[in-house]
A and B are shown apart, each in its own frame.
With several copies, the nearest count.
Chain A
Amino acid sequence: MQLDDLYQEVILDHYRHPRHFAALRDDETLVDEENPLCGDHIRMAAKLAGERLTDLRVQCTGCAICTASASMMAEAVSDQPVSAVRSKIETFLAILRGEQPPQADDLGDLVALRGVAEFPMRVKCATMPWHALSAVLQRLSVAK
């Protein structure tokens, strides 16, 4: 277990310069989740355009892993069909559980987070934004 496995350059880059991050108003926030253990806090807003997830914005205070995961996720799923988003969520969570799903290669930068699986205490940091995204899809499909 090397530190570089965890904090790869691409992760640090997303941590320092997160994408799709914004301060969210309460009335547009679809999901508000917190990990009481470490104080990570994430809020998300998004819209549906037909079957596409659009205008995904994230507000996140958390550790480097959580922040980078949220940023890379937002980049990876923005303007994607909901079905593709769902499959990315599944793939990502499987990887973090230490499994090796077949479609792992469509994750792009996100494979950098694979190393987190080696650090069980940090897995929650990486998966929290994805669970929040799941909840966003849920909210949007109910609203539809």
Chain B
Amino acid sequence: MSVLTSKEPAEIQALSPQTVRADFPALDRIFADQQRLVYLDNAATTQKPRAVLEATRRYYEESAGNVHRAVHRLAAEATELYEAARQRIAKFIGAPSTRSMVFTHGATEGFNLVAYGWARKFLKAGDEILVTEMEHHSNFVPWQRAAQERGAVVRIAPILEDGTLDRVAFARLLTPRVKLVAVTHASNVLGTVNPVAELIAAAHAIGALALVDAAQSAPHLPLDVRALDADFLAFSGHKMLGPTGIGVLYARETLLEAMDPFLTGGEMISKVFDDHATWADIPQKFEAGTPHIAGAIGLGAAVDYLERLGRERVRQHEQQLTAYALERLGDLPGLRIFGRAPERVGVISFALDGVHPHDVAQFCDQTGVAIRAGHLCAQPLMHRLDVPALSRASLYLYNATDDVDRLVEALQAAQRFFHAT
């Protein structure tokens, strides 16, 4: 991996973070102490470009009707905007049709939808679900619960020292009892990008289905569900420049058709009788009630924004910046980085000797640098790494080397502050 130092900024500026930053009103924030906000908690949630805020504002101020139900203009406009967003997001992830695109309120709801609508219907006693040690709770606890209910078992493929998946162990665990492989595309702790296309092919080879947690990949990597051959894939809008409360579950049409509905109520029915009901076509079958219309429209605008910047350029910028950050952080004595996968995203978790992660994050915050600390919604992984908690800095397209420099300064100051006697 080539590493750029601060002396070679030309390549890193290819995306021009300065220009990009100007699109994000939140990044203008200056704290009382004259420090510019350095936002490095992007794996938790991202800032929003003006284009996204504008798109949702326009819906509310001009076309705030409900969707699918009424013939008046506001409702027609709302429906058009909502369905156009579905179409653009489908294109963004290479989905063959909008029929396979279910709007959810986030990645978490996507996994639960599959756990309720697919796993509880099709899993049998003795069946297995194979996950990895680096899963986020949202791609773990739903399977635990579904498995418990069905008498099935969740198996956990371990990771290696460098934070990559143990492929040998994975292959060993992938027996014909496995009916679903649920694996994250990119880890929100280690930054590891998993070879999901290969893992999916292996799953299919033994007749299992494969689900991809794309919460940390959709914002950062070019993504093509057909190239991956994924059966299910879910992500959240708020982690990719979009509004809160919206996400997407992609699933093969045949699977959506075979699955039971999950939430029931308006929109998702065809006919309702006193003693039974029939379901609408997919994807409406899985969208009960009034959807988050403004959220879908905002996510559509976010996806447009990402495509306008160019996803390859975004990826390149983040890779260079990540390399820079790894080098600078690696130089700090007493700092230990968790996760050294060669294929990775800009999520960097670390421990600072003798300073608790919460104190690290608190101290950074006081210098205007926002990072995260805690179990990072991955307690099984914390047990594996044998740490109570970690600090995490996570990068996005509007970050640049000066942000990393500010982080490094803050960490050095924290060491001085807490270690002084």
The verdict on A142 contacting chain B, using a C-beta distance below 8 Å, is: no
Binds A, one of B71-79, B87-95, B150-158: B71-79
Say whether, besides A39-B389, A120-B76, A64 and B71 are in contact (CB < 8 Å). Answer: no
Whether the pair B358, A12 counts as a contact (CB closer than 8 A) is no
Whether the pair B79, A36 counts as a contact (CB closer than 8 A) is no
- In the assembled complex, the CB of A122 is this many whole angstroms from the nearest CB of chain B, namely 6
By size class, the interface of chain A is: 20 to 34
Q: Mark A100-143, 1 if CB is under 8 A from B, else 0.
A: 00000000000000000001111001000000000000000000
Q: Which residues of A have CB within 8 Å of B421?
A: 16
The verdict on B295 contacting chain A, using a C-beta distance below 8 Å, is: no
The verdict on B175 contacting chain A, using a C-beta distance below 8 Å, is: no
Whether the pair B356, A64 counts as a contact (CB closer than 8 A) is yes
* Bound: A78/B418 CA distance, A: 27
Whether the pair A62, B356 counts as a contact (CB closer than 8 A) is yes
* Bound: A140/B76 CA distance, A: 37
- Interface residues of B, CB < 8 Å — how many? 30
Whether the pair B366, A119 counts as a contact (CB closer than 8 A) is no
Say whether, besides A36-B375, A37-B374, A38-B375, A119 and B388 are in contact (CB < 8 Å). Answer: no
- In the assembled complex, the CB of B35 is this many whole angstroms from the nearest CB of chain A, namely 12
Task: Name the CB-closest residue of B to A13.
Answer: B421
Say whether, besides A36-B271, A120-B79, A121-B76, A63 and B375 are in contact (CB < 8 Å). Answer: no
Task: Name the CB-closest residue of A to B390.
Answer: A39
* Bound: A3/B71 CA distance, A: 13
Task: Name the CB-closest residue of A to B354.
Answer: A16
Residue from A41, A66, A120 having most chain B Cβ neighbours under 10 A: A120
The verdict on A75 contacting chain B, using a C-beta distance below 8 Å, is: no
Residue from A3, A40, A120, A121 having most chain B Cβ neighbours under 10 A: A121
Whether the pair B375, A37 counts as a contact (CB closer than 8 A) is yes
- In the assembled complex, the CB of B107 is this many whole angstroms from the nearest CB of chain A, namely 20
The verdict on B363 contacting chain A, using a C-beta distance below 8 Å, is: yes
- In the assembled complex, the CB of B342 is this many whole angstroms from the nearest CB of chain A, namely 29
- In the assembled complex, the CB of B352 is this many whole angstroms from the nearest CB of chain A, namely 12
- In the assembled complex, the CB of B306 is this many whole angstroms from the nearest CB of chain A, namely 27
Give the contacting residue for A39; candidates B355, B359, B382, B420; CB below 8 A. Answer: B382
Say whether, besides A3-B366, A64-B418, A121 and B71 are in contact (CB < 8 Å). Answer: yes
* Bound: A56/B389 CA distance, A: 27
Q: Which of B334-364 contact A (CB under 8 A)?
A: 355-359, 362-363
The verdict on A7 contacting chain B, using a C-beta distance below 8 Å, is: yes
* Bound: A93/B374 CA distance, A: 24
Whether the pair B358, A122 counts as a contact (CB closer than 8 A) is yes
Whether the pair B79, A121 counts as a contact (CB closer than 8 A) is yes
Q: Mark B288-332, 1 if CB is under 8 A from A, else 0.
A: 000000000000000000000000000000000000000000000
Q: Which of A38-84 contact B (CB under 8 A)?
A: 38-41, 61-66
* Bound: A39/B383 CA distance, A: 11
Whether the pair A39, B375 counts as a contact (CB closer than 8 A) is yes
Q: Which residues of B have CB within 8 Å of A40?
A: 388
Q: Mark B360-383, 1 if CB is under 8 A from A, else 0.
A: 001100100000011100010010
Give the contacting residue for B363; candidates A3, A16, A37, A39; CB below 8 A. Answer: A3
Task: Name the CB-closest residue of B to A37.
Answer: B374
Q: Which of B38-83 contact A (CB under 8 A)?
A: 69-71, 75-76, 79-80
The verdict on A89 contacting chain B, using a C-beta distance below 8 Å, is: no
The verdict on B255 contacting chain A, using a C-beta distance below 8 Å, is: no
Task: Name the CB-closest residue of B to A121.
Answer: B71
Whether the pair B388, A125 counts as a contact (CB closer than 8 A) is no
Whether the pair A38, B270 counts as a contact (CB closer than 8 A) is no
The verdict on A6 contacting chain B, using a C-beta distance below 8 Å, is: yes
Say whether, besides A64-B356, A64-B359, A39 and B387 are in contact (CB < 8 Å). Answer: yes
Task: Name the CB-closest residue of A to B419.
Answer: A16
Whether the pair A120, B80 counts as a contact (CB closer than 8 A) is yes
The verdict on B417 contacting chain A, using a C-beta distance below 8 Å, is: yes
Residue from A16, A36, A119, A122 having most chain B Cβ neighbours under 10 A: A36
Say whether, besides A38-B388, A63-B356, A12 and B418 are in contact (CB < 8 Å). Answer: yes
Say whether, besides A12-B418, A119-B362, A41 and B375 are in contact (CB < 8 Å). Answer: no
* Bound: A120/B83 CA distance, A: 11
**Across the A-B interface, the 7 shortest Cβ-Cβ residue pairs:** A39-B388, A63-B356, A3-B366, A39-B389, A63-B358, A121-B71, A64-B359
Q: Enumerate 18 A-B pairs (CB-CB under 8 Å) in ascending A order.
A: A7-B417, A12-B420, A15-B418, A36-B379, A37-B374, A37-B375, A39-B357, A39-B375, A39-B387, A39-B388, A63-B359, A64-B355, A64-B359, A64-B418, A66-B356, A121-B70, A121-B79, A125-B358
Beyond A7-B417, A121-B71, 10 additional contacts (C-beta under 8 Å) are A34-B271, A39-B387, A65-B359, A119-B71, A119-B76, A119-B362, A120-B80, A121-B70, A121-B75, A121-B76
